[in-house]
Amino acid sequence: MTLLNATPGKWFRVVSLGERRGLRAHLRRYGLFEGDRVRVVRAAPLKGPLLIEVNGREIALGRSVAAQIIVEAEECDSP
């Protein structure tokens, strides 16, 4: 599943940051890595960005970027 399809409020584990090296490097500069736990805090209306929480920080991601990040559901939804 992609981060774009993730249920807001639930925790997920990042499996892949996408295929493009430039995108992966960009996301790593923001502190997002494979294996991190993330959750969608909220999705802006009208195809706006997603606000995600990762490592205690909030990051806004465009929907096209979120669509390339592969995540898997966590067994336990607690932080």
28: its two tokens = 């790593």
Residue type, 7: T
Over 80: is that where the pLDDT of 70 sits? Answer: yes
Classify residue 25: in a domain, yes or no: yes
Q: How confident is the model at residue 76 (pLDDT cuts 50, 70, 90)?
A: low
6: its two tokens = 């993730």
Q: What would the pLDDT profile of 37-57 be if each residue is shown by its tens digit?
A: 999 999 999 999 999 999 999
Classify residue 17: in a domain, yes or no: yes
Into how many domains does the chain fold? 1
Residue with tokens 């502190």: 31
Q: Which residue has the higher pLDDT, 74 or 39?
A: 39
Give me the numbers of helices (H) and strands (E) for the chain, helices first please: 2, 5
Domain that holds residue 63: 3-73
* 8, 64, 37, 24: CA torsion to nearest 10: -170
